[in-house]
Amino acid sequence: MRFLVQATVDNARLGLIEGVERLPHFRLESPNVFFYTKGGAVPYLSVDIFQQITKNDTVLNFPVPGMTHFLERMQRFNGNIAQFIGMPKNLTFSSIIDPGSTRIPGYHTKGHVPIWSRSGKENISCKMYMDLMEAFEPDIFHTLCDSDTVVDSSNKRNVKSLERTLEFFEKCLELHKNSEKLKNSKVIGSLVGGYCKEAREKCSAAVGAAPIFGVSVDALHDFSDQVPLIDTDQIKLAVEMSLKHIPPDKLRMCPGSWNPNVILDLISMGIDIFDTTYPCILAENGGAFTFINNEIILQDGGEINSEKCNGDEINHCQDNSVKKNSDMEPVNKKFKPSNPESEIYISLKDTVYFDKFEPISKHCNCITCRNHTKAYIHHLLNVKELLGPTLLTIHNLHHYVKFFETIRKSLKEDKFEILRNSFKKRYHGNSDQQTDGYKERVVQNGLEKIN
């Protein structure tokens, strides 16, 4: 397997994963996403429904905390994790980090990383972790790491995170080198250090010098309800320091439920791969993406003309706008829109949709929009039917995949900065009211360290 950088636009990269030995025809262009799973399945979706989300090749993300109970069965199973779950044509990625669950801080012991599985807290050593990797045989795996830092972590915690992560990194590389089962599995190294400049740079130099497939910029947050509210300015310097010594031929990941504005900024800094936790958790809380995810935003510079409305831009057109309700409750505090006028998503839990007999987007061709209305989904959410979040997950994932297709197209046509600026113009990011507290913590505890 190899990762090729096909083109660059400033620091943004158009890449390609190919040459997979067990899947010789597999090709994944980047920027792109790895699909988040729980217990071996994309949340709320069966295999056949997931396969209708996109016809392109995909990568499944298997977080270890939700998979430890598979170990005994996998050791008896004659095959890899992709075959075990009935999706052998998908590339697989496994990590100690679960981007869809808030990380519980603390509980560190020497030589172990704490995780919370179905059985409660488990302490995972390098040997135990690599035993799991040998059982799963993922195509790509993330090395064991201590990423337990946030913006206000102490310098002592940042340094400890760095030391433990580099120790785990060396041990995992050695075990990988001596493993016959993992000879075709590629390694992703973890970049940690919190918001400490020296720690980030030291980690970048150490991991960047190793013979690995790629890196993951970790330890920026705790995967809590605050992640969609984080602004790029709060993480920019930490990300740049993490990538300082990383060779350009290495794949670059950044896990977390980032909002679309931050995703565009991270791509402009050189990040290639993200995950699908944001659309999945948004759906679970009754939210549906409505932001413009196609080339219309390139053509109109962010100003939408109703006469040109011919994509997934419903709710942004003059003739089909979503009625505002000043008393509307957000989907969930953690997924409150960045700006009331931005309409990155709508909350179908709101009573304004009880008689809206129209699809989320009449131009979207996902299963949800072809067959169901806002009113029906509102009803499903109101009576807590499982079908509600299922239909929203289908729509949100389809919408998200289209968004990344548009990003790649803009890179190929040298229009990425137009897309990025137009998107920011249309969707103003996080409101000061929602992020003031977080920004204050960054200034006091993070950026001062980096500067």
Same structural domain for residues 253 and 353?
no
Q: List pLDDT tens digits, range 285-334.
A: 999 999 989 888 777 555 544 344 433 433 333 333 333 333 334 444 44
- 196 is known to lie in a ligand binding site: no
Q: List pLDDT tens digits, range 225-261.
A: 889 999 999 999 999 999 999 999 999 999 999 999 9
Same structural domain for residues 306 and 262?
no
Domain final residue, candidates 221, 251, 277: 277
Indicate whether 446 belongs to any domain: no
Residue 442 has pLDDT above 50, yes or no: no
Contact 218, 97 (CB under 8 A): yes
Indicate whether 447 belongs to any domain: no
- 366 is known to lie in a ligand binding site: yes
Same structural domain for residues 260 and 288?
no
Same structural domain for residues 97 and 58?
yes
**59: domain range?**
2-277
Same structural domain for residues 292 and 194?
no
**Residue 430: its pLDDT value, please?**
41
- Element housing 450 (H / E): helix 448-450
Indicate whether 451 belongs to any domain: no
Domain final residue, candidates 277, 292, 312: 277
Residue 157 has pLDDT above 80, yes or no: yes
Same structural domain for residues 6 and 142?
yes
Domain count, the chain: 2
**Residue 303: its pLDDT value, please?**
53
Between 413 and 300, the more confident residue is 413
State the chain's maximal CA–CA distance in angstroms: 63
H-assigned helices in 111-183 = 126-136, 155-177
Domain final residue, candidates 236, 257, 277: 277
Residue 184: CATH number of its domain: 3.20.20.105
Indicate whether 440 belongs to any domain: no
Return phi, psi of residue 181, to 5°: -70, -30
Same structural domain for residues 333 and 310?
yes
Picking from 253, 259, 255, the residue whose alpha carbon sits closest to that of residue 424 is: 259
Indicate whether 442 belongs to any domain: no
Between 434 and 171, the more confident residue is 171
Same structural domain for residues 337 and 424?
yes
Instruction: Tell me the average pLDDT across 359-370.
Output: 91
- 172 is known to lie in a ligand binding site: no
- Element housing 393 (H / E): helix 387-412
Q: Which residues on neighbouring strands pair with residue 3, listed in sequence order? A: 17
> What own/partner pairs with CB < 8 Å and gap ≥ 24 does 429-432 have?
429/231, 429/259, 429/261, 429/338, 429/339, 429/342, 430/229, 430/230, 430/231, 430/259, 430/338, 430/339, 431/338, 431/339, 431/340
- 364 is known to lie in a ligand binding site: yes
Same structural domain for residues 108 and 132?
yes
| Cα–Cα distance, 14 to 6 (Å, whole number) | 6
Same structural domain for residues 202 and 292?
no
**438: how many CB neighbours lie within 10 A of its CB?**
18
Mean pLDDT of the chain: 87
Same structural domain for residues 36 and 146?
yes
Same structural domain for residues 102 and 153?
yes
